[in-house]
Amino acid sequence: MAFTPFDLTGKVALVTGGNGGIGLGMAEGLAAAGAKVAIWGQNPAKNAEAEQVLTALGGEVLVQSVDVASEQAVVDGVAAVIERFGRLDFCAANAGIGGGAPFHEQTTEGWRRVMTVNLDAVFWTFREVARHMIERAGAGDAGGSLLVTSSTSAIHGAPANEAYAASKTAVLGLIRGLAVEYARYGIRANAVLPGWITTDMTARLQGWDKFEEKVIGRVPMRRWGERQDFAGIAVYLASDASRFHTGDSMVIDGGYTIF
């Protein structure tokens, strides 16, 4: 029988923040590879559009409106995915928000909002998913993969965006701990660190001549990253091709941070 490590037929994936940007790119790759895909998003129009995109790829899709800032909503959301599909093999905790403002003007409320969405929500999501995966392992069906979207702001200075950078640094420590703790169950945990990607979060910078020249001009690949640039890494980490790959932080930035 041929070895087909990137075939996700029979696997179920969840992508939070999967109705646009990096999350939708991941979901597209997963669906195209044969996975059943659940995505979370709160914008009805974007949810509907993403559902059309993913359904067109031929897979089974579940779109949920989940507020990741609510612990109960996350708990219920994960339970609904498992109830619908019977299992969950891969989870990409991708939902996130920015918090740009001069540091001395940042408020405690704003700081905590960023931490809730970018860090607490990852904790809640992975906790619920891990419980399911550990239960499966106890029943003789070990395995699973957790992926968090961090940021290159975790490894270089992000002026006027310290809350975002702090949250994205924190999830790297979380991932390393999960990789070690859950390896015994066959569960892997990794992080991706995107660079400058065309998403809603970077919309105000796209087309700004000075930014294009001074920042994007320094990207060795000479372009913005696009959502499709994250399809392959999601498929790889959800598949058996990465069955011995865990605890890693993979930079996807066109070479920006090394130049």
Tell me the helix, strand and coil percentages in the chain, rounded to 5.
Answer: 50, 15, 35
Radius of gyration of the chain (CA): 18
- CA 22 – CA 231 distance, rounded (Å): 8
How much is the pLDDT for 154?
95
pLDDT confidence of residue 157: 86
Question: For 125-180, what is each residue's pLDDT tens digit?
Answer: 999 999 999 999 999 999 999 999 999 999 988 788 899 999 999 999 999 999 99
The list of the chain residues with pLDDT below 70 reads 1-3
What is the predicted pLDDT for the residue at 95? Answer: 97
* Domain of residue 133, residue span: 12-258
Per-residue pLDDT tens digits for 104-137: 999 999 999 999 999 999 999 999 999 999 999 9
Q: What is the pLDDT of residue 2?
A: 67
- Please report whether residue 145 resides in a domain: yes
Identify the pLDDT of residue 1.
57
Active site residues: 164
Confidence at residue 141, expressed as pLDDT on a 0 to 100 scale: 97
CATH code, 128: 3.40.50.720
Look at residue 4 and tell me if it is in a domain.
Answer: no
In a domain, 5, yes or no: no
In-domain check, residue 6: no
Q: How far apart are CA 15 and CA 45, in angstroms?
A: 17
